[in-house]
Structure 1
Amino acid sequence: MSSEATVAVYEVRSDGEIAKARLAADGIVARLSVDDEGGLNPGFFSRYGVRLVVRPEDLDDAYESLGIEQVRVPSEVADAMFKHAGWAFPDEGCGLVAVDDDGGPVLTICLTNADHAPDRFTITPDEQFGAIRHAESRDLTIGGVFHSHPRSEAYPSAVDIGGGGDPAWVHFIVGPVAGPRPLLRAFRLVDGDVTELKVTVGQ
């Protein structure tokens, strides 16, 4: 595939093969991308993961086929993420996302990337606490974090996966900011596992 989009990452190749077979049964062409040094170092699987990739135009169908969770993002919430990503370029932009009682995103709180770097971000405790207070003043809670990838795919990097954070939060990524059509994607990151959510933008 000349252009690919990552659907999911698995620690064990057999799990990826099962998902690939499920997609094939639904007529979706997919492949596994594995950085295992040509099979000479299978131990790489658990560290870097086995990526299930499809053509970008098949991504939505792949989500549906695999039963991937969906998250609805209001247009103004998504727009704020895209604008902040553009403002922060060429560094990563970042912030927190406030949610309502149902867990739906309702407010983007743009913050400062203390690292001022293109491949990682840090939110200082002071800014995080300020965002929490701001959300609480509107009877909201923090339920997500967002950041941008200036030049890479909107998919968690090894730094993102190992970065910790509240496992209950949804992780939103905008990228590639330098590309003609940056995407907004969402993930759950729990103990090194990456689970993508299907993002629907609108009211």
Structure 2
Amino acid sequence: MKKAFVALVIGGMGITSVQAAVEASAVATWQATAKKDTQSILVVTPLTSLSFQYAEGIQGFNTVNGLFDVAILGDAAATDFTLKAKKLSGTLNHLGGGSTVDVGVNWQGTPVNTASYTTLIDTAAGITGGNLSPLATSFKDDSQRTTAQGSFNFYIESATVNGVDATFDALPDGLWSGEVNVEFVANWS
């Protein structure tokens, strides 16, 4: 009986030197919707989703080029065309509560904010909209829809913790969720 006891103690001492394996996992999430509109005179479709990751080395979040498709039906009587955009909302809320981040939007280096409209195309002023220029040249064509693709530069511009402005490194770990809404207004005159 004494021999069995000694064997258990020696066996138990051998187990303590074995280390457990370390394992980690992460979850990637894609928001998904499906929508089709081929009848409206103006349709704007986001072509990419927005995902921001905090990088400790720069104490900030990455920027994202958010592609979008614009489709218009022209007006043969129009002499000029404008397309403008305005950010309606962009606050993301921490799933654990207590903090927010706000998404900023730029169009070709110009802020698209909530206070006023940013001009993307103004044919009377000679602003053709860069990659959106097919719209500026075809706004009179009422026989078919014209499409073009553009992109905004999205970035995390500010943060709050418990309602007070905060630096990005002061934010808690976790996930923020919400929507960024940009209104587009087209005018044929």
Q: Scaled by the length of structure 2, what TM-score is found?
A: 0.25
Larger Cα-atom Rg: 2
* Higher RCO (C-alpha 8 Å, min separation 6): 2
